[in-house]
Amino acid sequence: MMRADEEQTLVDLRAHLAELVAPVMARFHGRIVKTVGDGVMVEFGSAVEAMRSAVELQRGMAERNADLPAGRRQTFRIGLHLGDVILADEDVFGDTVNVAARLQAIAAPGSIVLSASVHDQVRDKLPLPFRDLGARTLKNIDRPVQAYAVEDGAALRPGRRRWIAAGFAALALLIAAGGALLLAPRLDLPFGSAAGTGTESALSVAVLLFTNQSGDPAQDYFADGLTEDITRALGRFRPLTVLAYGAVLPYRNKQLAPMELGRALNARFLVSGSVRRMGERVRVTVQLTDAANGTQLWAEQYDDQLTDIFEVQERIARRVAGTLATNLQQIALAQSLRKPTANLDAYDLLLRARAQANEVTRSGNRMARELLERVTMMAPGYADAQAELAEAIFQRATYGWSEFAQQDVDAAIRLAQKALETDPDSVLAHGVLARAYTLQQKYDLGLAESERALQINPSDAEVVATRAAVLLWTGQIDEAIAAGELAGRLNGNLGPEPALNLGIAYMLKGRYGDAVKVLEAGRVRYPGYATLDFPLAGAYAELGRADDAREALESGRSKDPYLDLAGFGTRFQDPALKRRIQESLRKAGLK
């Protein structure tokens, strides 16, 4: 391809890396160790997340190739292996890296090859069609390696479409998957530490002045205003220490390396970006950089229609801030998980509890509650811990893991109220109250709490998802869809409940294809969450896909045999909405 058109091939490659690879790695918490030629090495703390990212990459490349001429279709080969690595100067070495590289080399273009160590971690957690390749002899590896392949097939289709198999030279993508055995790199704080004595993070952030690439100096005001708005919006996220807008002004147009800027500003992370106006549209590009080593951690591009310039500025600033904060808080979690368990303070324990709760399993929820109870004993006035414990207890009640669900909802309300006594601006506490009051059919209280959370931080994906839930159950379906879609854009890793709510909202508007898309994605990510299967079966039934509806219904019954038609949709304020959903489930065969 380089021989045929060197410039275009390089442009395409860079676009794939920036627009697909980097965002997918950020979404699944992978660390890009290095890029060598047309190959990328990425390190994960979880084999499941590594596998999910590999599938997402192959799906993404199939979609990107669909509209390209045959001579420009680039494809990935992906190899995954799990094991110990040696960390040196932010790079990783060792036999694990070598095995992953060799597995990549034997993969067919457009496929994924993984070792038995990864297969053992993911086979019961992800519904993928693994093909046994047997014990393979790999170059410079002194023992045969048992390998498995995930190739073109049902699980690797974007939606229900088949993969497009590209028959041209493959890009080499290497993923060294981690899990408990992977020695993840340290995120030391050589400068700019904002860490406190127990309940603060070390996430110090500077938002650099965005550059105007429109060629019109009159547009500088938009770039400057966007910088200021993003700075202000990021400052609403409690775990972040954000430098004031005025602190970065002296560094306008100064060409300094990220490490130099980080030291000068005493900031660990740098946000930079550019603005380009194209007729009646504006394009904003944003990057997040680790100033300790100059590594770009995340990049994204936003396009919007230029109608009301200030409304566009505010809308983009909220989306940028919400997505940035999500990624930065994942970094905080990664930092915490790398610390020795004998040296943990309240904040680190809280982060570990949040990671357990995010698994959305009964055992993970139990572990989260145990850790949070330790935190509340260590720091009785720690409002965030009380709010997190309220959230975990509420999840136990609503996810079907409690024999005394009503008592748990009451306990969650008490804890959230206690958190607000210490910190009236705790968005999580307001969010728990919003959903708990709605569950108790105290709709006015639920709306009021969700509005208060939104006032405190309109860029927080969890806040927006909570607002979407309350709007759904109170019958404001169009507004619920808008909020649910925004929450997904701010954070692609929200839990199963936002996916459930958005799927139901789509069904109520007759958008059954959209419902299937969001519910299928949620079911793949959270296979143990039974409630997603039932509305998915209903959406399939409405589309006339009887076999798919039957499979989804049977899957839901196997996980939750006690859910019946009368028990579904009880949170709706309007009984007519409940009946509409139940009619779809009846078509699917639920009695």
Taking the chain (591 residues) in consecutive chunks of 10 residues, what is each chunk's mean pLDDT?
80 81 80 75 83 88 86 89 69 76 86 90 80 84 86 47 30 43 26 31 77 75 79 75 76 82 84 82 84 80 73 73 74 60 66 83 91 88 90 91 90 95 90 94 94 86 92 95 89 84 96 94 85 93 94 90 80 94 92 83
Tell me, yes or no, whether 564 and 537 share the same domain: yes
Among candidate residues 397, 472, 478, 481, the one with its CA nearest the CA of residue 432: 397
Contacts of 571 (CB under 8 A, 6+ apart): 438, 439, 441, 473
Q: Which residues pair with 32 in a beta bridge?
A: 42
Token couple for 318: 């909220």
Is 153 inside any structural domain? yes
Place of tokens 């980097």: 22
Q: Does residue 143 sit within a domain?
A: yes
Is 485 among the domain residues?
Answer: yes
At CA 585, angle to CA 581 and CA 587, rounded to 5?
115
Of 51, 49, 41, 39, residue with least CA distance to 76: 39
Q: Are 393 and 346 in a shared domain?
A: yes
End-to-end CA distance of the chain: 58
pTM here is 0.56
Query: Cα–Cα distances in Å, from 341 out to 221, 332, 336, 344, 345?
Result: 48, 16, 9, 6, 10
Specify whether the CB–CB gap between 563 and 555 falls below 8 A: no
Kindly state whether residues 439 and 491 are assigned to the same domain. no
Distance CA 237, CA 7 (A): 42
Considering the domain boundaries, does residue 324 fall inside one? no
Length of the chain: 591
Element (H, E) at 48: helix 47-66
User: What integer pLDDT is reported at residue 335 of this predicted model?
Assistant: 61
Written as one string, the DSSP assignment of 117-160 is HHHHHHTTTS----EEEEEE--TT-SS-EEEEEE-SSGGGSSTT
Q: Read out DSSP for 158-171? A: STTSPPP---SPEE
Among 451, 423, 230, 454, residue whose Cα is nearest residue 325: 230
Q: Cβ(72)–Cβ(205) under 8 Å?
A: no
Residue 79, helix vs strand vs coil: strand
In a domain, 291, yes or no: yes
Do 462 and 441 lie in a common domain?
no
- CA 63 – CA 104 distance, rounded (Å): 21
- Kindly report the backbone phi and psi dihedral angles of residue 94, in degrees, each rounded to the nearest multiple of 5, phi listed first: 120, 175
Cα(400)–Cα(169) distance, integer angstroms: 49
Regarding whether 588 and 508 lie in a shared domain, the answer is: yes
369 and 293 part of one domain: no
Same domain, 371 and 434: yes
Q: Is residue 134 part of a domain?
A: yes
Query: Which of 424, 447, 470 is the last residue in one of the domains?
Result: 447
Other C-beta atoms closer than 10 Å to the C-beta of 8 total 13
For residue 327, give the DSSP letter.
H
Q: What is the CATH number of the domain that holds 255?
A: 3.40.50.10610
Q: Is residue 579 a part of any domain in this protein?
A: yes
Residue ranges of the alpha helices (H) in 5-85? 6-16, 22-27, 47-66
End residue of a domain, out of 401, 424, 447: 447
Local structure of 364: helix, strand or coil: helix
Q: Is 148 in the same domain as 21?
A: yes
Residue 286 and residue 249 share a domain:
yes
Short-list 76, 125, 83, CA closest to 526: 125
How far is 288 from 206, CA to CA, in rounded Å? 10
Number of structural domains, the chain?
4
Q: Domain containing 589: what range?
A: 458-591
> 164 and 39, same structural domain?
yes
CATH number of the structural domain spanning residue 74: 3.30.70.1230
Q: How buried is residue 191: exposed, middle or buried, by Cβ count under 10 Å (0-12/13-18/19+)?
A: middle
CB atoms within 10 A of CB 509: 13
Whether residue 520 is contained in a domain is answered as yes
Q: At 35, is the secondary structure helix, strand, or coil? A: strand
The residue from 420, 447, 474 where one domain ends is 447
- 530 and 404 both lie in a single domain: no
> How far apart (Å, rounded) are the C-alpha atoms in residues 484 and 352?
27
pLDDT of residue 300: 80
Look up the CATH number of the domain holding residue 407.
1.25.40.10
Tokens of 533: 């299967």
165 CB neighbour count, 10 Å cutoff: 15
- Compute the distance between CA of residue 392 and CA of residue 350 in angstroms, rounded to an integer: 12
Q: Is the torsion defined by CA of 445, 447, 449, 452 positive or negative? A: negative
- Residue 508 pLDDT: 96
CA pair distance 480, 502, nearest whole angstrom: 7
C-alpha 172, offset from chain centre: 25
Do both 481 and 580 map to the same domain? Answer: yes
- For 406, the token pair is 């009503």
What pLDDT, on the 0 to 100 scale, is given for residue 168? 32
Question: How far is C-alpha 47 from the geometric centre of its chain's CA atoms?
Answer: 16
